[in-house]
Structure 1
Amino acid sequence: MAAQATLHCLTGCAIGEVLGMIIGTAAGLTNGATIALSIVLAFAFGYALTMRGVLRTGLSTRQALKIALAADTVSIAVMEVIDNTVIVGIPGAMDAGLADALFWVSLAASLVLAFVVTTPVNRWMIGRGRGHAVVHAHH
């Protein structure tokens, strides 16, 4: 269940992270601005994916947002710390262009490592009735 919750969370995070890195790199933003954009988009897409499923149960947008915040905030935050730390830590990754293999390999590696580190965090939270356990009460 923790791996499934992490994969769900990673999907939204990855969409936002990759999109932010592509936009920031293509637009020539500074490294800090590119990372900030990626983080904002990762949270936005992560919450949106959770809300999409919860809204199908008939809850209001406000209720769905509360559930998404409770379910995903810690998971997304851990993923963002890990994947952005990895990308910044790989020499040349933040300066690589969209056509460079280093850009894509470092991004993929950062997301894989984020999944590995975040899965035990989600397992711990689910075991205490938090995180994605909150979402499963509404499915």
Structure 2
Amino acid sequence: MEHDTHAEHAHHGHAHGIGKVSWRMAAQATLHCLTGCAIGEVLGMIIGTALGWGNMPTMILAIVLAFAFGYALTLRGIRKAGVDFKTAFRVALAADTLSIAAMELIDNGVIALWPGAMDAHLGDAMFWWVLAIALAAAFVITTPVNKWMIGRGKGHAVVHQYHH
């Protein structure tokens, strides 16, 4: 991979895409999104289960929280760089929306389609290993999406211009 300075990286990423993007960079961006998604997913499932909600309301809460935590992690990093909240919020939306949406579609799809997974409870081993498989599948499938977006100056390429 070519080693650009941060200024060159930001310029190329903003104007024309950054060209050749390493799988490592794409994987790191995906892992960042996956962290927020996993926190939101698990928290949503814990809350929905604790409140005795059905599968659909629990899944909706888990998805909403996955987006919230995904955006929050990106927002935190951008705000640390001294960017005002409104700009940071727009950058987080631009950087993470497609990545989180792809992850949520994949991981919730795996859980919904896996026989018995939707009925597994937090205390069941099946709940945890299907969730792990679902999140792993989301990571593997979303990484090329992020690689493609970063190469075109979208997604996490937008965030990189704020890193020092």
TM range, smaller chain: over 0.9
> How many residues are treated as equivalent by the alignment?
139
Equivalences for 1:39-54 in 2 at 5 Å?
39-54=63-78
Query: How many angstroms does 1:97 deviate by?
Result: 1.4
The amino acid that maps onto 1:21 is M
Counterpart AA for 1:34: T
1:28 aligns with 2:55: no
For residues 92 and 27 of structure 1, the distance between their equivalents in structure 2, rounded to whole angstroms, comes to 20
Task: Indicate the larger mover: 113-122 or 90-99.
Answer: 90-99
Decide which structure has greater helix share: 1
Deviation at 1:26, TM superposition (A): 2.3
Equivalent residue number for residue 98 of structure 2: 74
Q: Greater relative contact order: 1 or 2 (C-alpha under 8 angstroms, separation 6 or more)?
A: 2
* Counterpart among 35, 52, 55 of residue 11 in structure 1: 35
Runs of 4+ deviating beyond 2 Å: none
Once the two structures are superposed, the pairs formed by residues 43-122 of structure 1 within 5 Å of their partners are 43-122=67-146
State the one-letter code of the partner of 1:14.
A
AA at the equivalent of 2:53? L
TM-score (norm 1): 0.98
Partners in 2 of 1:113 and 1:18 — Cα distance?
16
State the 1:6 CA deviation: 0.2
Residues 91-100 or 65-74, more deviating: 91-100
Higher gyration radius (CA): 2
Q: Distance in 1 between matches of 2:97 and 2:127?
A: 27
1 CA distance for matches of 2:47 and 2:111? 16
What do residues 31-89 of structure 1 show as CA deviations (whole Å, max 9, x unaligned)? 11011000000000000000000001111111110000000000000000000000011
Q: Report the identity percentage.
A: 70
Amino acid at match of 2:76: R
- TM-score computed with the length of structure 2 as normaliser: 0.83
Calculate the aligned-residue CA RMSD, in Å.
Answer: 0.7
